[in-house]
Amino acid sequence: MKQSNTIHFEISERKVLLRIVDILVVFLGIFVLSTYFDFEYLNISSENTVPLIVLVIYITIFGTIFELYNLQKASKLDVSFRNIVLCMSTVVLLYLLTPIITPFLPEARLQIIYFYIALIAFVFIWRVLYNTLIASPRFFKRVLLVGELSNIDNIVTTLTTADSSYSFVGFINSEGISTDSIKYNKLKEYTSKYLSTVIMEEQISEIIVAANNAENITPDLYHELMLLLERGYKIREYTQVYEEVTNKVPIQYVGKDFYKYFPFSRNNENQLYKFFQRTFDILFSVFGILFMLLIVPFIYIGNIIGNKGPLFYTQERIGRNSTLFTIYKFRTMVTDAEAKRAQWATKDDSRVTTFGKFLRRSRLDEMPQFINILKGEMSIIGPRPERPFFVAELSRSIPFYETRHIIKPGLTGWAQVNSRYGGSVEESLTKLQYDLYYIKHRSPFLDLNILLKTLSTVLYYRGQ
């Protein structure tokens, strides 16, 4: 019996593929322009090594900011085209404004238009090919699920929503023959007795085991899984897959063996990483405060007209190791927003003023927090600080909630760039999963990813 030969591209592989081929097709576009048209602004040659490297850097950075490598958006051609136009418009504009490291403007200004159109056209053609070929069902991952009957539907929905390339062929009830009156009819059910035959006939590329309690796995099924593992078949535990696909920690599956799920990043104790992070926090917050001082007069005028009350707003929040500190913000709500009691902020909250909506959507209301960062109470990146009242409430409802306080809270974070505003217990649970993922995997590369995604949030006006 041989391992299935079906080809499947993992999430990371698809993102790398998009990035690499983007650069290749851009170079192809430049080659076509310089070979078949009267185009002299830029060509593929050793003399243009620096300008070409700069172009690659610009496309890589702004491609991330404008979400060219977000797989869900890349699968929608209309969204892809919009993002490609925005990205290449920014790339070309910046490319023209840096003539010291890029070619000087050509005498025939029409060549700039050719250059701009070629970048958009060749990258978009590649996106069409990607959706037609790579993102097609022929490259879907054919998966067999092993787990308790009660969890099957939730698992299938979660993974297929997060990654549409998952194709669940069927499932095996890890508890054996079910006597329940309720059956799961959306997937075909197999028995462990014919597991090897199913693997061959259905060309299964991966088995996902999602048993909450390993003791519930029947001896026959355990034996079959061990045989497959010894023959080199890919068998993965669901929580590992969940974390990889969703970029969240599955705390709903964490029990008394919680320590297995939280081997927190070494960077949490890495003094060099912490030194550079603090240095970055100080430098960034200084520039942030200087920029804030420049725009304060305009915000002050807008506040007088649209907010009609104090410009600044202070509030107690919980920081690292559950210590209290006072956070600073530009006020976005009416002055008596919580005259009676603390309330969740919600989407389209009636307490938010007209000018306050602009401040929130643009994230300008958060700028006074650069003062908190400079004081060392916050960091640029980390879980958002929450109020003591809600922390007490959420800690009773959500396990491991206070674990997010083992690092400094942040101005932006993994939860902020991946989820909605936490206006309920359910949404707070989702945000906690992202926060724990960041604490578990934090690194300079993840920090950079968050910064770029934050720019996307600001540019696309997604603040809440």
State both tokens at 209.
């085991």
d(CA 238, CA 162): 14
State both tokens at 144.
């067999």
378 and 411 Cβ atoms separated by less than 8 Å: yes
Given this model, what pLDDT does residue 12 score?
80
User: Residues of 219-252 as b/e, b for ≥16 C-beta within 10 angstroms?
Assistant: eebeebbeebeeeebeeeebbebbbebbbbbbbe
Cβ burial, residue 214 (10 Å; 0-12/13-18/19+): exposed
Domain map (residue ranges) of the chain: 11-134, 140-246, 266-459
Which H/E stretch holds residue 117?
A: helix 110-129
DSSP states of 187-254: SEEE-GGGHHHHHHHTT--EEEEE-SSGGGS-HHHHHHHHHHHHTT--EEEHHHHHHHHHSS--GGG-
* pLDDT tens-place values along the chain, 464 residues long: 455 556 667 778 888 999 999 999 999 999 999 998 888 889 899 899 999 999 999 999 999 999 899 888 888 899 999 999 999 999 999 999 888 888 888 778 889 999 999 999 999 999 999 988 887 767 788 899 988 887 888 888 888 888 888 888 888 888 766 555 456 778 888 888 778 888 888 888 889 988 777 777 888 888 888 888 888 888 898 888 898 888 998 887 776 667 777 777 777 778 899 999 999 999 999 999 999 999 999 999 998 888 888 889 899 999 999 999 999 999 888 776 665 666 666 666 678 888 888 888 888 899 999 999 999 999 999 999 999 988 988 888 888 888 899 999 999 999 998 887 666 788 888 899 999 999 989 999 999 999 988 888 887 766 55
Strand partners, 209: 146, 237
Query: Within the chain, how many helices (H) and strands (E) appear?
Result: 16, 9
Q: Which residue has the tokens 């991952």?
A: 141
State both tokens at 386.
């929450």
Q: C-alpha distances in angstroms, 161 versus 89, 152, 155, 242, 435?
A: 31, 14, 10, 11, 20
Q: Where are the beta strands (DSSP E) in 111-193?
A: 141-147, 166-173, 188-190
Q: Is 19 left (phi over 0), alpha (psi -120 to 50) or beta?
A: alpha
Question: What CATH architecture is 140-246?
Answer: 3-Layer(aba) Sandwich (3.40)
DSSP states of 319-363: -GGG-EEEEEEE--B-TTTTSSS-----TT-TTB-HHHHHHHHTT
102 and 96 Cβ atoms separated by less than 8 Å: yes
Q: Which residue has the tokens 């578990």?
A: 440
Strands 324-330 and 312-318: antiparallel
357 and 365 Cβ atoms separated by less than 8 Å: no
